[in-house]
A = this chain, B = another copy of it.
Amino acid sequence: MNKNRLEAFTDGVYAIIITIMVLELKVPHSPTLGSYVEMWPVFISYAVSFLFVGLNWANHHHLFQTVSKINNRVLWINMFNLFVLSLVPFATAAMGENSFKSITVTIYASLLTLSIIVYMVLVNLLCRVHGKGSAFSNQFRGRSKSYISLCLNIIAIVISIIGFPKVAFLLIVLTSFAWFIPNHIFENRP
């Protein structure tokens, strides 16, 4: 099985998910500065989701660059990954329109958590496909950033449920930005 067309299809879906979210930004009825400023929950939600999907794509891009073989199972975990991400525009709109009400942030944080789990399953599966001790698998030995971000997202779910959705959302944002550090370190490795 050839990885190129899977990458092409996956890139297409990522590109559409990240872009159609903008359709949820509805033009306010009165053309005043105030009405645009009032849209801040919608804008912030949009920006964070753009960042999250962008990060996810960048990770996927790094992951598949060294992939040499795929199989049907990889194809379907990848498809499930896209399914989870495809719900991000809906969860983003729900959170933005309701100004970070508890239930909407809980759904948003749960979706992101599920997305991280699915991504980790995909990495694990690819490691098994390439074999323990292969160049591909060694790359992913001891990478704890996925586990940390998973834990922080689960904490965000709890914080949102007990009634502090805005704190939970802030934690999600910080977790997202944390992803920028390891990628850089990874890149500077000889």
Q: Which residues of A contact B (CB under 8 A)?
A: 1-2, 5-9, 11-23, 25, 27-28, 31-33, 36, 47, 50, 54, 57-58, 61, 64-65, 71-72, 75-76, 79, 82-83, 86-87, 89-90, 93-94, 97-98, 101-104, 107, 180, 183-184, 187
Contact B17 A20 (CB under 8 A): no
Q: How far is the CA of A21 from the CA of B89 in the complex (A)?
A: 11
Given contacts A5-B61, A19-B86, A103-B32, contact A97 B13 (CB under 8 A): no
A90 x B13 contact (CB < 8 A): no
CA distance A14 to B47 in the complex (A): 17
A27 with B79: CB separation less than 8 A: no
Q: Which residues of B sit under 8 angstroms from A82, Cβ to Cβ?
A: 18
Question: In the complex where A31-B101, A50-B86 touch, is A9 in contact with B5 (Cβ < 8 A)?
Answer: no
CB contact between A15 and one of B9, B58, B87, B90 (< 8 Å): that residue:
B9
Minimum CB distance partner of A34 in chain B = B103
Q: Which residues of B contact A61 (CB under 8 A)?
A: 5-6, 9, 75
Separation of A50 and B8 alpha carbons in the complex (Å): 18
- A-B CB contact pairs (8 Å), 19 listed: A2-B65, A5-B7, A9-B14, A9-B57, A9-B61, A13-B15, A17-B19, A20-B23, A21-B86, A23-B89, A25-B90, A27-B90, A31-B103, A36-B107, A50-B83, A50-B86, A58-B72, A58-B75, A72-B187
The interface residues of chain B lying within 8 Å CB-to-CB of A5 are: 7, 11, 61, 64-65
